[in-house]
Amino acid sequence: MTTPLKILIIFGTRPEAIKLFPVVKALAADPRFMARVCVSAQHRGMLDQVLEIAGIMPDHDLDLMRPDQSLDALTAALLVGIGKVMDLEKPDRVMVQGDTATAMAGAIAAYYRKLPVDHVEAGLRSGNIYHPWPEEVNRKVIGSIAALHFAPTETSAAALRRENVAASGIHVTGNTVIDALHWVSARIGAEPGLAAGLADLEARFADKRIIGVTSHRRENFGGGLEGIAEAVRQIAARPDVAIIFPVHPNPNVRAVMDSALAGLANVAMIEPLDYPHFARLLSIAEIMLTDSGGVQEEAPALGKPVLVMRETTERPEGVEAGTARLVGTDPARIVTEIFNLLDDKAAYEAMARAHNPFGDGHSAQRIVEILSHEIGQQA
């Protein structure tokens, strides 16, 4: 029997864990591969929530989260920590996902060792290096290093081709977030108790129309977050509405939301939800209001209108499909858009059509097959 290909999969935040657990599981189930997992724990609690539900036990945990960490300190610690793990593991290939500091440092550390890098969710581009910041540049750095680029859509593949990435390395796979969403929905179907923790809120807001809110983007810190908080305050003034807002633990987010929204009767500011509970929130919400990347992909898949509190998006597919709309962070604009969807049934229904430009739920398996083809080429 041939030696399995050793792949070191590196991640550190909640969204990376959600989007990589389907790939880790698919690689672990395939004897052609040896999957080794290194978590930076750039996030701690939110990462652990995903590891637990997905049943992933990391082989290395760098435990790097520090309160309100600077990008400089985080990136420096990531490079040193990940480099040491690479020297110990001596993998054949390295896999990273998306655009976080962990993903970028993982790609650079691999490059310093001349290890091939495989990039999941490659080719997302907004065209503006400050929106999202610093993710747009993180993605470009990874894109300039990667050997295999797993682009979720034809749009992202085209963006890579425009940057002269060799076509032979670009593969359109769909986004693994849809695999994760299918997986968690099936788990909840089999075990409804997994998402039952919202029952009290659901009972409290039984006669209300639910709006789900998330926000964490660095480029929205300061004025942007204040605009978002003000919008939520004004929306909550409507008696027919309730807002469920799992607040990101980043202190820059918490401070603004706590001071603007504490004590409002129909705003529930809660701790980050684990993935089954967030999937439940997506299913009970009439509208999602977010600056998140992943939520822009999940909401269209479920036919939930999603208003995106950003100026640009590197995920234009949801906007093109009509399920997502960019609304920025100006409170007047956000409130107008939300009220329009609440009050105009035709406007709501025009957006609320399930559309799934981001994948069919089989992206992880596709990635594994492409990797195995790659081994065949090298053998």
Q: Interface with ligand UDP by CB under 6 A: which residues?
A: 14-15, 18, 177, 214, 216, 246, 272-273, 275, 278, 292-295, 298
CB of 15 to ligand UD1, least distance (A): 5
Among 28, 30, 69, 131, binds ligand UD1 (CB under 6 A): 69
Interatomic CA distance for residues 148 and 357, integer angstroms: 21
214 binds, among ligand UD1, ligand UDP, none (CB under 5 to 8 A by kind): ligand UDP
Q: Does 45 bind ligand UD1 (CB under 6 A)?
A: yes
Interatomic CA distance for residues 346 and 22, integer angstroms: 37
Residue with tokens 């997994």: 194
Which is closer to ligand UDP, CB of 271 or CB of 343? 271
DSSP string, 6-65: EEEEEE-SHHHHHHHHHHHHHHHT-TTEEEEEEE--SSSHHHHHHHHHHT---SEE----
216 included as an active-site residue: yes
Q: Which residue is nearest to ligand UD1 (CB)?
A: 100
Among 24, 35, 74, 267, binds ligand UD1 (CB under 6 A): 74
* Amino acid at residue number 358: F
CB of 39 to ligand UDP, least distance (A): 16
CB of 332 to ligand UD1, least distance (A): 26
Which is closer to ligand UD1, CB of 216 or CB of 238? 216
Which is closer to ligand UDP, CB of 13 or CB of 266? 13
Q: Does 223 bind ligand UD1 (CB under 6 A)?
A: no
Among 33, 50, 91, 100, binds ligand UD1 (CB under 6 A): 100
Interatomic CA distance for residues 67 and 217, integer angstroms: 16
Q: Which stretch binds ligand UD1 (CB under 6 A): 36-44, 139-147, 167-175, 313-321?
A: 36-44
Structure-token pair, residue 237: 């003034």
Beginning with the edge strand found earlier in the chain, give each strand of the sheet holding 241-246 in spatial order: 267-270, 241-246, 209-214, 287-290, 306-308, 324-326
Q: Does 328 bind ligand UD1 (CB under 6 A)?
A: no
CB contact at 8 A, 56 and 17 = yes
Which is closer to ligand UD1, CB of 70 or CB of 164? 70
Among 44, 208, 233, 362, binds ligand UD1 (CB under 6 A): 44
Interatomic CA distance for residues 135 and 125, integer angstroms: 9
CB of 102 to ligand UDP, least distance (A): 12
| Packing angle, helices 14-28 and 363-378, rounded to 10 | 60
374 included as an active-site residue: no
User: Residues 23, 28, 32, 35: is their CA dihedral positive or negative?
Assistant: positive
99 included as an active-site residue: yes
* Amino acid at residue number 46: M
Q: Which of 99, 179, 230, 317 is catalytic?
A: 99
Which is closer to ligand UD1, CB of 101 or CB of 289? 101
Which is closer to ligand UD1, CB of 63 or CB of 320? 63
Q: Which helix (H) or strand (E) holds 300?
A: helix 294-302
248 included as an active-site residue: yes
Q: Which stretch binds ligand UD1 (CB under 6 A): 93-101, 115-123, 203-211, 313-321?
A: 93-101
The DSSP secondary-structure symbol of 286 reads S
Structure-token pair, residue 271: 């701790």
Cα 323 versus chain centre, distance: 18
Interatomic CA distance for residues 17 and 39, integer angstroms: 9
Which is closer to ligand UDP, CB of 149 or CB of 216? 216
Using DSSP, how many helices (H) and how many strands (E) does the chain show? 16, 13
Q: Does 42 bind ligand UD1 (CB under 6 A)?
A: yes
Other C-beta atoms lying within 10 Å of the C-beta of residue 171: 19
Taking alpha carbons only, the member of 75, 165, 180, 93 closest to residue 122 is 165
121 included as an active-site residue: yes
Active-site positions read: 99, 121, 135, 216, 218, 248
